[in-house]
Amino acid sequence: MNKAFVKRDGTIKLYDIDISELWLASLVYAHIGWWVENLFRLSSKHILDSRNQILPFLFCYSIALWAMYFMLGTTHKTRFFSKEIISGKDAAAVALRNIYYFTVTFLFVFFGEIVVGSLFEKISGIQLWNYNGIPLHVTQYTSVPTCAAISFGVMVMMGNLFEGLMKLIKIIPKSVLIKTDWVLGALVVADWIYMMVSINVFKKAPAYWSIQF
């Protein structure tokens, strides 16, 4: 195992968190992501829909949580991969951590959206989203306002929300946690794989339901 993953007390941890606990947290974030996208569409286009999924979970947000925790840690304990940076509790250190976290997240989202959106369109011919109607957009797949909003949201979710969620998950009995991980995780991943296959192989994004307001 590399330095990030360690085996301690019979469990495998990513840095200092049991991966079974982090997995459940990532599924919670997948559900939050479903609501975030739908509420954004409700406010901008007056539409609620399935987001191409049977279940109200967007697995890309699970992947994002793992990536952010792996690369940056949390806003209170910021890392560059395994190396903790900008330690301290004074106002200057807190401000620098927030600036660092926001900047790296912004760049990650900015270029990630362009790469993912462009690849999906090139492979499947399907345009998953379009930001052309938003000011300061860069290509149709990203924009300064949306990247800033997402980056701020990530900072909120990787700060007190993340730490509070992990405290709640630690209360769950281990046997219940593992069963939930396997059952819910399998359903969410299967739902996501079906969407990916449908889009990239059959060139059709699943649309289960939609409500126009």
Residue 205: helix, strand or coil by DSSP? coil
Which of 143, 136, 81 lies closest to 111 in space, CA to CA? Answer: 143
At 125 the pLDDT is 86
pLDDT digits (tens, 9 = 90+) for 105-132: 999 999 999 999 999 888 888 888 889 8
Tokens of 157: 């979710």
Amino acid at 73: G
pLDDT digits (tens, 9 = 90+) for 15-71: 989 999 999 999 999 999 999 999 988 998 899 999 999 999 999 999 999 999 999
Could you tell me the pTM of the whole model? 0.89
Residues in Cβ contact with 26 at an 8 Å cutoff, skipping those fewer than 6 apart: 61, 62, 63, 65, 66
pLDDT surpassing 60 at residue 1 = no
Name the DSSP class of 85: -
Strand partners, 108: none
Alpha-carbon distances of 30 from 10, 67, 79, rounded to whole Å? 27, 13, 23
As a whole number, the mean pLDDT across the chain is 92
pLDDT digits (tens, 9 = 90+) for 165-178: 999 999 999 999 99
